[in-house]
Structure 1
């Protein structure tokens, strides 16, 4: 069985490398060619430091490809628990499968949670680095055994949809790394040549690799529909006995319409026609399979007037655009209601790009949003382990007014010198310094190679 799997890994790796990695090459912006995942060197470093690593992320984003690349470079095989026969064999004797030569590589481990107990037993005897790399399409923290089994012994790496720098094949450190390194955002200032239509195309396409390999239009739309059905029918149902399966797509659509906004479960439940407790449980399931993510409130110790409710975002802007029916052509009509939805989509897209770049950073980074009781808000806050803070405000328009800096001013008044950098991202062309050192940057600074 293992020798057969080794052949499968090589075949899958060769195929998936063409589908998971790539650069924009076609006229419609679909993926062609090859490009390396920015997470690959991070994984290599962590493997030298940590006894167990979990690659966590949505289906089809490239976790199996990362495992396959690692298997090829080390001469190992991948134990694929997505395969029913392999899954049955592993479930029958998990100890045998985790006792192999280091590192043991296991894909879709969440199908056999008993593996975690077997790995714990092994690590109780030997905690040397590089023993296990697991990949899964369900959030590690949501698995029943996960909370107690490997706490303190596992390092979790998020494998998210492709970032624009990966899609373009851009070299060099991205903007977020420059800011986390303490660089002045003014140093990143360059004039943008990205058109409004190009922004709309990138933002509505998102970063799901397989979708990006399809041309815009019906083919890509079919993929999104099939993808969501697969995740709901397989992954969600496997996690929990869902009595109202038909409510999940409806709930996801409502959450998509509220992406980038404070999550009010009572209002969501009313919109869907569910009990509040059921809406909360189903929302957690959608979060567990990486369709949505909660951005926690940040700075709650800065005063009683700081809001404590999280925001909700779709994990992929392409999925969100498909759920809302937003296309570049529809956005170009300038319909007011469409532009309102597009504004939320731009925020979700930009937040996702920043979080992807932060996930490649080797140090701990706390993330959240800042909002006061008087609606002064900052869309995204990053906090380094030394307590310094980077603030991002995101605007879909081509102008930045003084009123757009209200949230940053409120945050600066509370943090003082702890606010290391403040950046407003917008879809205009000019880059310039605004009041008190706030940098106004074109949105494409997130994927433009930095000086």
Structure 2
């Protein structure tokens, strides 16, 4: 068991345990080295069962040689890194089609399993996928991590305690990131070594698992290019020129980085009331420490940091909402747009400054005018200390409100 004295509880654990009571197959998915195996083994110890680790050569060979015998078991079976033997997928499907008991399989993987072409079939109606991200700030600090739910529940009335952090503190947190190994390394120089080795390992192992890439050096260059434009509009034509590949190839490369959980694209948001909206997505890194290591500038890095915290919360919040961004041809923009299942919208702007001006709400007020009652509240998250109302549903909050509310 990998749990030790520095083990931090994960919010994903509650979702896994809930799924164990009513779902046949639970898929724990996420980036390499975010703690999937540690969490999975903790669940296994609590529920009992057997573990099969496909990182082990002999175990992997046995799974490939006789998938049917490999998945035969009583109780719960943990299969770690299940994407390494795609033939197991159909055998698992066969087992749970004939035995509908919940909590039979807990599968972990370091890529978006259902996006892999090598997997023969999905498990609709039989499985639940739980995403595990690098640590959130609330998981690190032991604080609520409840901004998304609080924003939809309280709207513009949401307030946070006085923020004790300033711009330099937020930048330090963004540069640290949330990988467990990075958190254990107090020296920035030692963290940089971890990030460098991590990226090299991704290219050498994970990229090759999901795609046949002849020019592996293109992937490292692409990572640096994406860091240079993190949280900006994603131009595949510009990437194709810089990489000297076609635009479809550049798009495929970005999709590979999404599949292995290095980056996440944020779709553009639009509605009939905002017909001048652009349809271009933007991109951010799943871990802000990687973005910093690759050279992201201060402003984009803090926005990446905030988008990452929001995306983490959406995996466990009681509110079912999706993350978008907004930009139109008149240069109005909103960094993050959260829309829940009923169509209510929360708009969020991120400012690195330690003060806020009325003009910082320009994009938020545009959305409010066009959406009317659908627009619940607009927030500017900034590096200052106070929560203040700017009238008509607009509020500024310290960035730390993300994890202290």
Aligning the two structures, in what range does the TM-score lie when normalised by the shorter sequence? Answer: over 0.9
Q: Partners in 1 of 2:33 and 2:302 — Cα distance?
A: 23
Deviation per CA, 1:60-111: give whole Å up to 9, x if none.
0011011110111122222111222211111112222323223321111111
Give the one of 219, 222, 242 matched to 2:190.
Answer: 219
Q: 1:176 offset after TM fit, Å?
A: 2.0
Q: 1:131 offset after TM fit, Å?
A: 2.3
Q: 1:146 offset after TM fit, Å?
A: 5.0
Q: Which residue of 1 aligns with 2:29?
A: 56
TM-score, with length taken from structure 2: 0.94
Give the one of 108, 125, 149 matched to 1:177.
Answer: 149
The reply on whether 1:434 has 2:396 as its aligned counterpart is: no
Q: Partners in 1 of 2:312 and 2:128 — Cα distance?
A: 17
The reply on whether 1:418 has 2:374 as its aligned counterpart is: yes
Q: 1:147 offset after TM fit, Å?
A: 7.9
- Between 433-442 and 248-257, the greater mean CA deviation after superposition: 433-442
Instruction: Give the alignment of 1:79-98 within 5 angstroms.
Output: 79-98=52-71
- Between 409-418 and 315-324, the greater mean CA deviation after superposition: 409-418
The reply on whether 1:353 has 2:353 as its aligned counterpart is: no
Q: Is the 8 A contact 2:149 2:318 kept in 1?
A: no
SS at the partner of 1:415? helix
The reply on whether 1:263 has 2:243 as its aligned counterpart is: no
Q: Which residue of 2 aligns with 1:332?
A: none
SS at the partner of 2:361? helix
Q: Which residue of 1 aligns with 2:292?
A: 321
Q: 1:173 offset after TM fit, Å?
A: 5.5
The reply on whether 1:344 has 2:300 as its aligned counterpart is: yes
Distance 1:58 1:392, change over 3 A: same
- Between 129-138 and 310-319, the greater mean CA deviation after superposition: 129-138
Q: Which residue of 2 aligns with 1:446?
A: 402
Q: Which runs of 5+ in 1 are unaligned?
A: 1-9, 19-32, 327-340
Q: Which residue of 2 aligns with 1:45?
A: 18
Q: Which residue of 1 aligns with 2:133?
A: 160
Q: Partners in 1 of 2:341 and 2:184 — Cα distance?
A: 38
Q: Is the 8 A contact 1:42 1:362 kept in 2?
A: no
- Between 137-146 and 241-250, the greater mean CA deviation after superposition: 137-146
Q: 1:143 offset after TM fit, Å?
A: 1.1
Q: Partners in 2 of 1:304 and 1:208 — Cα distance?
A: 40
Instruction: Give the alignment of 1:117-132 within 5 angstroms.
Output: 117-132=90-105
Q: Which residue of 2 aligns with 1:384?
A: 340
Q: Is the 8 A contact 2:166 2:354 kept in 1?
A: no
Q: Partners in 1 of 2:105 and 2:318 — Cα distance?
A: 19
Q: Is the 8 A contact 2:323 2:336 kept in 1?
A: yes
Distance 1:111 1:210, change over 3 A: same
Q: Is the 8 A contact 2:48 2:75 kept in 1?
A: no
Q: Partners in 2 of 1:300 and 1:115 — Cα distance?
A: 42
SS at the partner of 1:130? coil
Deviation per CA, 1:260-285: give whole Å up to 9, x if none.
01111111121233322221221111
Q: Which residue of 2 aligns with 1:4?
A: none
The reply on whether 1:278 has 2:249 as its aligned counterpart is: yes
Distance 1:97 1:410, change over 3 A: farther
Q: Partners in 1 of 2:215 and 2:26 — Cα distance?
A: 35
SS at the partner of 2:335? strand
Q: 1:434 offset after TM fit, Å?
A: 1.1
Q: Is the 8 A contact 1:189 1:441 kept in 2?
A: yes
Distance 1:136 1:434, change over 3 A: same
Q: Partners in 2 of 1:300 and 1:271 — Cα distance?
A: 33
Q: Is the 8 A contact 2:263 2:283 kept in 1?
A: yes
Distance 1:276 1:191, change over 3 A: same
Q: Partners in 1 of 2:71 and 2:331 — Cα distance?
A: 51
More helix by percentage: 1
Q: Is the 8 A contact 2:379 2:395 kept in 1?
A: yes
TM-score, with length taken from structure 1: 0.85
Q: Partners in 1 of 2:333 and 2:385 — Cα distance?
A: 24
The reply on whether 1:241 has 2:212 as its aligned counterpart is: yes
Distance 1:219 1:362, change over 3 A: same
- Between 72-81 and 58-67, the greater mean CA deviation after superposition: 72-81
The reply on whether 1:373 has 2:329 as its aligned counterpart is: yes
Q: Partners in 1 of 2:125 and 2:367 — Cα distance?
A: 33
